[in-house]
Structure 1
Amino acid sequence: MGMQEEAETAALAFEHAPVGLALTRDRVIERCNARFCETFGYGADELAGRSLAALYPSAEEFQRIGEIGRQKMLDTGRYADERIMQRRDGGLFWCRVRGQSLTPEDPFTRAIWSFADISESRPVVDLTVRERQVAAFLAEGRTNKEIARLLNLSPRTAEAHRARLQAKLGARNATELVARLTGLPV
């Protein structure tokens, strides 16, 4: 296979990947594939040059997740999580996100990201920003004390958020709540 053919094959693989892919520079989309556009509800030409911030439920979450991701990518060059993202029409959905820095010394300078819509196995309920933050940490297996420390809350406040999440998701206990948050069968 010649270099031209390899380049064409790579371009086809990127464009037709079964998950959304985006090549970013400083958290701005340079290029994305058809599945990425479909997932977020945009046309093919609408996302190039736009900040990833447009795909988050809030500017605060874009900032917070960015800080967490930058630190993790400085350590390993990679980042992965499951979080709530926002479609063009404002609809929220759970998304599995994976990132690889192409510039490890400054992780967001150039990076490649995959975005997979996992909303079929994990429905979204109406949550506040803080409840989404607590939910994400619970899905990671964090304790109430760890969540309180990470979010600069009292342990009682973290527990209150967890209790509200349990009620909103119809979970009888913490184990069932985590199962609902992670999409595992209950």
Structure 2
Amino acid sequence: MSDLAFDHAPVGLAVLERRVITRCNLQFAATFGGTTADYTGLPIADLYPSQEDFNRIGALLQQPEAKSGSYSDERIMRRRSGALFWCRVRGRSVTPEAPFQTGIWSFADISEDRPVVSLTPREREVAILTCKGLSAKEIGQQLELSYRTVESHRAHLLQKFGARKLPELVAKLTGMPL
């Protein structure tokens, strides 16, 4: 019965060992394109927009706040076709002391709720921290940038998303209705 639940879950599921997919379900294959067999043995890095994004998320999983073994975020991922899309990602490490050893991850396509806009890795970081409610000064401290640099990144985000003010930008970034 557990195989039936895993295989036919309404959200994409994957088991990763050392950041390599060892098993995935039908919805995962439908979300990323192809069949479940296409993903067995595939490094999850192949589904990130860039190696830099893959490394950044990996570094986050090493932070003390991620030591609980659970992690979640919303990020841009890459389909097998190369198309980028927004994805809600949640994961749990079976071995929190070694977060990459074995983990169960869910992937939900949320691209209908928000457009994919080309962002630099730094703009992506500023966007994520802005959505978490951090001020420009707090973001600057966390990213080791001046608050003016953060404000410059926010100005670019406002322009790219066609938002007039910060609350409108946050609504567009999070997919919330205005």
Fold match by TM threshold 0.5: yes
Q: Aligned equivalents of 1:90 and 1:150: distance in 2? A: 32
1:159-170 correspondence runs (5 A): 159-170=151-162
Q: Aligned equivalents of 2:83 and 2:141: distance in 1? A: 30
Q: Aligned equivalents of 1:18 and 1:153: distance in 2? A: 41
Matched, 1:18 2:10: yes
Displacement of 1:46: 1.3
Tell me which residue corresponds to 2:37. 45
Partner SS, residue 124 of structure 1: coil
TM-score normalized with structure 1 length: 0.90
Tell me which residue corresponds to 1:112. 104
Q: Aligned equivalents of 2:111 and 2:105: distance in 1? A: 18
Tell me which residue corresponds to 1:73. 66
Tell me which residue corresponds to 2:83. 91
Partner SS, residue 112 of structure 2: coil
- The percentage of counterpart residues that share the same residue type is 58
Equivalent residue letter for 1:56: Y
Q: Aligned equivalents of 2:129 and 2:140: distance in 1? A: 10
Q: Aligned equivalents of 1:128 and 1:73: distance in 2? A: 24
TM-score normalized with structure 2 length: 0.94
State whether residues 166 and 172 of structure 1, in contact with CA within 8 Å, keep that contact through their aligned partners in structure 2: yes
CA RMSD, 1 decimal: 1.3
Displacement of 1:107: 1.4
- After the TM superposition, which parts of structure 1 deviate over 6 Å for at least 4 consecutive aligned residues? none
Q: 1:146 to 1:42 in 2, by over 3 A?
A: farther
Equivalent residue letter for 1:172: R
State whether residues 23 and 36 of structure 2, in contact with CA within 8 Å, keep that contact through their aligned partners in structure 1: no
Matched, 1:100 2:100: no
Matched, 1:176 2:168: yes
Aligned with residue 55 of structure 2, among 35, 46, 63: 63
Displacement of 1:142: 2.3
Tell me which residue corresponds to 2:148. 156
Q: Aligned equivalents of 1:152 and 1:58: distance in 2? A: 22
Matched, 1:82 2:112: no
